[in-house]
Amino acid sequence: MNENQLRLLRTLFDIAPCGILIADSDARIVKANPAFMAMFGTTPAELAQVAAGTAPAGEGLAVLMRRCRDHIAAPETQRAALRVEVTRKDGSPFVGTVCTQAIDLGGRMWVAGFIQDITGQALMEKERELISAQGRQAQKMEAIGTLAGGIAHDFNNLLMGIQGNVSLIMLNKDPGHRDAVYLKNIERAVARGSELTRQVLGFARSGKYEVRPTDFNHLIERAAALFGRSRKEVTIRKILQEPLWTIEADADQMDQVMLNLLVNAWEAMPGGGEVVLETANVTVEENTPGRPPDAPPGRYICITVADTGVGMDAQTQARIFEPFFTTKKTGSATGLGLSSVFGVVQNHHGFITVRSGKGRGTTFRVYLPASAPPPVHRAAAPGAGNSRGPITLLLVEDEEMVAAIAEQMLARVGHRVFLARSGAEAVAIYQEQRDAIDLVILDMIMPGLSGADTFDRLKAIDPAVRVLLSSGYSLDGQAQEIMDRGCLGFIQKPFSIEQLSQKIRAILSAGERPPG
């Protein structure tokens, strides 16, 4: 090879975009090109020191030297390309493929090798894997949501039937009757059953029906009062920021979140103790601890529930949001509480953090995004509903048992009821009786004309029609969509006579009929 050819080869060596190395029979890297230096973050001087044994080989060089040593020990063996994943000196990751070949030059072994930098490609692969894992998880959640929704619908209609019959029997008996206690037991079982479907819906990121601008401080006051009344051994201390930013939330679901957290705190303090409930306006930053990557930085409210209870070790903590994970021995603990809290909070685009240690109490923090517009206060008109005589209702319900029960329940508390067994029938009745009807109670899920379509037809007949939506389950967003179109309330089956009467009163006294 003449001088010119050598210069040509040297130029190729210098400008090659992949790393090139030459190692001697002692597996010392004696020559490497600039691309190699850049990949491993090393310099010719450092490389020489490593080769001379006066400096230690970093992680990357050590891997390469091992490979060269293998070649020299068995030069005949063909070796497949080697994937190396190492950390560079500056801490950044490096992924490369190494192709090496042993060569005998005049009785002395050498190893020549190429290294290709595939760090970018490897990172992209990892990201793709993560995205597809997230996709699978989302699909799984969607399937669970559909399943939970289907069960919730049928289950709640059944419970409605039981609850309704019990309500009617109780109205027929005086409170001192010897069967009253058994009837109360049935009611409790119904309540527990519907609580269970609510938890499952929460976990399945479903069941968000009535989203309204909400002042969370009100919710806390209510939850604390309700809770404090029955659990006197726990002291509740409230530190509430005023004014607290408004959030968009389903109040029923948020009640469920607070109750789950409070009950857990109470159960963690068998000897009594203190729960601190705190609210604060916070700005979540990129580096706020616990912020998941999909929660955008910005304005949030933060609700803290801190107890002085038994706390948790790290192992327990890692599993608390799993459905059906429980450490409690009581029969009523299902382990759905926190998984439901997690689902509801996620479904409201928030996130939750937990800090705990064995014997050191536990602190949960729930972050919920603040909404932009100020709260809308519906002007309450002077108690229209309370002063009026009997109310005339149009009940639209396709489930036979529910229809019969609800009709009787309403009649028993003195209301006049038109019953429609389908959307089409409801439209026909409303057309004839619109002046007599004060309120329509509309089931959302019906064959034929759906609740949503029925609502639109009623609205077309009378833009000021007052509608209370009812359902055992509704697809997320579906109830909200109808609410947004001017429906005045939502009631979840199963409901008792008192709950229904309360909703009816609330709607009829909530001001003038909406503008058409």
Ligand X SMILES: Nc1ncnc2c1ncn2[C@@H]1O[C@H](COP(=O)(O)OP(=O)(O)OP(=O)(O)O)[C@@H](O)[C@H]1O
- The answer to whether 427 and 461 are in contact (CB under 8 A) is yes
Q: Which is nearer to Mg ion, 182 or 324 (CB)?
A: 324
Task: Establish if 338 lies at the interface with ligand X (CB under 6 A).
Answer: yes
From the list Mg ion, ligand X, none, partner contacted by residue 265 (C-beta under 5 to 8 A by kind): ligand X
Q: Which of 25, 116, 304, 334 binds ligand X (CB under 6 A)?
A: 334
Site string for ligand X, 291-310 (x = CB under 6 A): ----------------x-xx
Q: What is the distance of C-alpha 191 from the center of its chain?
A: 24
CA distances from 118 to 87, 115, 189 (A): 14, 9, 61
Size of the site for ligand X (CB under 6 A): 23
Q: 3-class DSSP state for residue 199?
A: helix
Exposure class string for 235-244: b at 16+ Cβ within 10 A, else e? ebeeebeeeb
Q: Which stretch binds Mg ion (CB under 5 A): 245-253, 259-267, 446-454, 497-505?
A: 259-267
Task: Establish if 264 lies at the interface with Mg ion (CB under 5 A).
Answer: yes
Task: Establish if 337 lies at the interface with ligand X (CB under 6 A).
Answer: yes
- Closest-by-Cβ residue to Mg ion is 337
> Which residues, 262 to 281, sit near ligand X by CB under 6 A?
264-265, 268
- The answer to whether 443 and 451 are in contact (CB under 8 A) is yes
Q: How far apart are the first and last CA of the chain?
A: 95
Q: Which stretch binds ligand X (CB under 6 A): 165-173, 216-224, 330-338, 503-511?
A: 330-338
From the list Mg ion, ligand X, none, partner contacted by residue 170 (C-beta under 5 to 8 A by kind): none
Q: Which is nearer to ligand X, 206 or 454 (CB)?
A: 206
Shortest separation between residue 266's beta carbon and ligand X, angstroms: 9
Q: Which of 96, 337, 369, 489 binds Mg ion (CB under 5 A)?
A: 337
Q: Tell me the three-class secondary structure of 3-66, residue by residue.
A: HHHHHHHHHHHHHCCCEEEEECCCCCEEEECHHHHHHHCCCHHHHHHHHHCCCCCCHHHHHHHH
The burial class, CB within 10 Å (0-12 / 13-18 / 19+), for 83 is exposed
The Cα–Cα gap between 416 and 410 comes to: 7
Q: In 3D, which of 371, 65, 346 has the Cα closest to residue 215?
A: 371
The burial class, CB within 10 Å (0-12 / 13-18 / 19+), for 468 is buried
From the list Mg ion, ligand X, none, partner contacted by residue 309 (C-beta under 5 to 8 A by kind): ligand X
Q: Which of 148, 320, 368, 437 binds ligand X (CB under 6 A)?
A: 320
Q: Which of 11, 121, 137, 316 binds ligand X (CB under 6 A)?
A: 316
Residues contributing to the site for Mg ion (CB under 5 A):
264, 337
Residues contributing to the site for ligand X (CB under 6 A):
260, 264-265, 268, 307, 309-312, 316, 320, 325-328, 333-339, 362
